[in-house]
Amino acid sequence: MKKNIKLSVIAFLIIFLLGACGKNNEKTEEAKEEPITIYLVRHGKTFFNTTGQTQGWSDTPLTDVGEKQAEQVGKGLSEVKFVTAYSSDLGRQRKTAELILKNNENKVPELQEHIGFREFFYGGFEGSTDEEVMQIITEKTGIANWEEVTADDIAAADDLGLAETTKEVNKRAKEAMTQVIEEAEKLGGGNVLIVSSGGMIPVLLEAVLPDNYQGENIGNGSVTTLTYQDGKYELLKIGDESYVENNQ
């Protein structure tokens, strides 16, 4: 009889432990399934933004307005807990990201820099006024407005032959977004901050959600939000400026 009781107790313990392991596995699977939400922010206003000069890999600092925009975005996202944060190595993007994280109420991750989030490289056009660049592009390609200009058009019009091509821009965009997702998945998902530029954000979107960007304005300090889960992206908002407007 005692032997049977011992066996029953052992059997109960085995069943209990198997059940506990099953629940732990379920919790692990649930954690892995947490969606990744990406907050894709355009940097605050810079000196070249103010003077209307072409600004790709060349860099000018944030103006007082630009710093305020970054802080306002930070206040708007202050309750969002970020698992990772990125910018390029350009000062205007780095500074914007730092100000956003500075205004966050949670423990923030270390800011990572990735060249994939840089703006287009405009080659010989860097620092020229937007009007000068558009005039040359129109003369060489027949295109008359910025909304229709591609990286290939800029490269074709650049006499120095230094400007990036569409293929080159797309390549670094895809590599950057792949790294973001891989690192966020290792952390079990969550919220990701990316600070990039007005010309590059549509390219980043095109890399993961082809044909979803329809020419919407990407203003300084605007926030574009998308999610990733089970191998699929979903675009929630493009160029949302409410974070700046609501925290003035």
Q: Which of 13-17, 141-145, 218-222 has the highest mean pLDDT?
A: 218-222
Cα separation, 180 vs 174, in Å, equals 10
Residue 13 has pLDDT above 50, yes or no: no
Residue 6 has pLDDT above 90, yes or no: no
Q: What is the pLDDT of residues 29-40, one digit of tens each?
A: 444 569 999 999
Q: CA distances (Å), 121 to each of 60, 170, 197, in order?
A: 14, 12, 12
Cα separation, 243 vs 224, in Å, equals 11
Q: What integer is the mean pLDDT of 44-69? A: 96
Helices and strands per DSSP (H, E), number in the chain: 9, 6
By the 8 A CB rule, do 130 and 146 touch? yes
Residue 199 has pLDDT above 90, yes or no: yes
pLDDT category at 246 given cuts 50, 70, 90 is: confident
- What's this model's pTM, rounded to 2 decimal places? 0.85
Question: How is residue 171 written in tokens?
Answer: 């390549």
Side-chain-facing half-sphere of 189: CA atoms under 13 Å: 15
Question: How is residue 7 written in tokens?
Answer: 């066996």
Q: What is the pLDDT of residues 201-211, one digit of tens each?
A: 999 999 999 99
Percent of the chain with pLDDT over 90: 81
Question: How is residue 184 written in tokens?
Answer: 């966020």
Q: What integer is the mean pLDDT of 133-149? A: 91
By the 8 A CB rule, do 201 and 224 touch? yes
Q: What is the pLDDT of residues 75-99, one digit of tens each?
A: 999 999 999 999 999 999 999 999 9
pLDDT category at 103 given cuts 50, 70, 90 is: very high
Residue 193 has pLDDT above 50, yes or no: yes
Q: Where are the alpha helices (DSSP H) in the chain?
A: 2-32, 47-51, 64-76, 91-102, 130-141, 151-157, 166-186, 200-208, 242-245
Q: What integer is the mean pLDDT of 159-182? A: 96
pLDDT at 19: 58
